[in-house]
Amino acid sequence: MTSEESGKILQFLPFSSVISSSFWHKLTQMKIDVYALSDEPVDITGYYTNQSASSRLPACLNVDYSSFENHHASVVGRNGILCQGLLQNTNTFEAFKDINKQAAINKCGEQIWNDILSGAALLNPSLLTRFLLLTFADLKKYQFYYWFAFPTLVFPSKIILDEEPKELDKVLTKDELHQLQQAYDQYKATCGQSAFLVEKNPDLGFKCHPLKELANLKDTTWVGFCDPSSLPTNPGWPLRNLLALIAYHHKERLAGLSVLCWRDEVRDGQRRIGSSLLIEIKDVVYPTENETNPKCLGWEKNERGKLGARMVNLSNSMDPERLANSAVDLNLKLMKWRLLPELNLDIVQNTKCLLLGAGTLGCYVARTLMAWGVRHITFIDNGRVSYSNPVRQSLYTFKDCLNGGQPKAESAANCLREIFPGMISRGIDLRIPMPGHYVTDAEEIEKDVQLLADAINEHDVVFLLTDTRESRWLPSMLSAYLGKLVINAALGFDTYLVMRHGQREPWNPGQVQSEKSKGVMRGALVGRQLGCYFCNDVVAPGDSTKDRTLDQQCTVTRPGISLIASGLAVELMVSVLQHPEGGNASAEISTAAMTTVQQHQQEPDNKEISGSPLGVVPHSIRGFLHRHQQVLPATEAFYNCTACSPLVIKRYAEEGYAFLSEVFNNPDCLEQVSGLADLHKDIASIEDWDYPEESEESND
């Protein structure tokens, strides 16, 4: 009768995977932000414990959000044992299915075997407990396919026992258990390895040693390991590779070896190690095949008990707001995978935008800003939603028109939060004071001016989207004073203008003022030299709503114009933000400039491409829908501009609201302050010049 026939074959409890939902959230983030299209394996970590509260629980290997961090064993708890793993996330479900599973686990097994051969596993026993995780993440449906492998070497092929494993409290006395527990705690505080040696000395009691001292193995020494199993007769999966290590380095000593399956449990508030197992190995059977590397197995079975992948669907269990928060920016982050790796999405998302006007332009600009990932939008408008608005203004519905109409600014802000709860949006019901519109309640208007100034100061970008020219003057002047980036959009019947104002530093009385404008129509101008919406005007803004018919009071345009202008306005802002110079980006006037993608295609070795990765950053875009044409003029700041002139800004800095009150009641004041009045006189004097008549000289 052979030893195999007369003894019991030792069987091991395989690992069962436990995946926290936080792992999938982190994988989603890493896939979008870091891995992109790469399907190369990456290092991760997992952990198991040798502390089980029930004998019916499986031996669990856990992964969570921290698995992607290169942490130490201290973060997995007192009884946590850190394991090294490999994650391979595929780009398609077909690639996930087509992976050669046997080749994949053999590669991991080869790595374990090499660590055994080199002795590295003696110094660091955690190298023996590796795992492999194959995944495919369907980020549109939030379904995750995965398959775990816990590679174990078939070496030896069988372990023969003379008797069933015994619980430690049936082998040792209570005092001996206490001594062993103290010896282990002392060892763990200094070494903390998952496998160790236990030396039993009749006089000195127990003492634990690192596994690397295996060469000094004595008959009275046990080999111990942290056992994740809670079964009364079966040790956990990590013992298999530990026995392979011992079999390779001390083959002659494996038969007759005592193995301590260390289980450090807490039950009813009491720590107990008595359920640890002591296994006496009688004999060993080795593989008959003469192979370089032992066979490797360990793929986890699915919930049906068969070898196969599993799938988890998180779409129903996730918080809808959190789900939306991670999904809304998916399209943007996908841009970085292939097309625009230089794209800086954080700077866009963190930009606070102030929209002056919640009409047709304001609604479309807000929606486009949201699509670009902007999270902070404030509306300023004093109108109410009318019955003609919802069909043209996308943030309103018929219900908003009832009972006299809801305030536009507040309704628009509420709608943004309904579309995406993660939006930080608010509405300010405010009528912007304007030149030429006489002030009747000075105290109320002064409050409005201060509210507008505070709002501009709290935001990074100001969009001018109001109906009238003069309503843009005060925000233009205040933005120039505060050094804010201004994007302006204005509509005609079949024409449109989108432009950025020249962005300079906030007003400083000691700063050097710009020289008088000469006008530039070719080349490029740096951002601080660019003009504003009023720089091309030679008259001050006045009351443009006086004595107007209905068609003149309303913004009558071809319906598609507002969508085009709104989209261009936001794209211009994003292009400025992506430029290395930001608001000081030079203004291009040529549409022949290439995007970063095109530049890389033509110059693949050029790693330092200047400018915005999104292409040209013009000063202004003038469009003519009747001939489907766009031009990109750039003009220098006008020294006598009624809005951004240093003469006007200085007057406001010195007098504050007193100066504004004068402007509101008498717009001619702006022409006096800016120097336009003197310019008019100079032009008039030139026109009135009395040129002498040419005399006809006789040839006689």
Task: Give 217-253 pLDDT, tens digit per residue.
Answer: 666 689 999 999 989 899 999 999 999 999 999 888 8
Whether 608 contacts 465, CB under 8 Å:
no
Strands 8-9 and 158-161: antiparallel
Cα separation, 353 vs 402, whole angstroms: 29
276-312 per-position pLDDT tens digit: 999 999 999 988 776 678 999 999 999 999 999 999 9
668-687 per-position pLDDT tens digit: 899 999 988 888 787 766 65
Calculate the dihedral angle through the C-alpha atoms of 378, 381, 387, 389, rounding to the nearest 10 degrees: -60
The residues, ordered by sequence, that sit 6+ positions from 63 with a Cβ below 8 Å of its Cβ are 17, 18, 19, 20, 23, 44, 45, 46, 85, 133
Cα separation, 517 vs 311, whole angstroms: 67
Retrieve residue 555's tokens. Answer: 């913004």
Cα separation, 648 vs 532, whole angstroms: 13
Whether 667 contacts 540, CB under 8 Å:
yes
Calculate the dihedral angle through the C-alpha atoms of 590, 596, 597, 599, rounding to the nearest 10 degrees: 70
Strands 59-63 and 205-210: unpaired
Retrieve residue 450's tokens. Answer: 């201060």
Q: Is 60 exceeded by the pLDDT of residue 67? A: yes
Tell me the mean pLDDT in the region 74-94: 85
3-state helix, strand, coil in the chain (%, to 5): 35, 25, 40
If one counts every other C-beta atom within 10 angstroms of the C-beta of residue 151, the result is 27
Q: Where are the alpha helices (DSSP H) in 99-250?
A: 101-118, 120-123, 174-190, 238-249
Q: What is the pTM of this model?
A: 0.74
What is the pLDDT, as a whole number, of residue 519?
44
Residues labelled catalytic: 554
Tell me which H or E stretch contains 24. helix 21-30
More confident residue, 578 or 339: 578
531-561 per-position pLDDT tens digit: 999 998 877 786 665 555 444 455 688 999 9
DSSP designation for 215: G
- β-strand partners of 221: 199
Distances (CA, A) of 223 to 84, 121, 126, 165, 204: 22, 14, 15, 14, 18
Strands 620-624 and 629-631: antiparallel
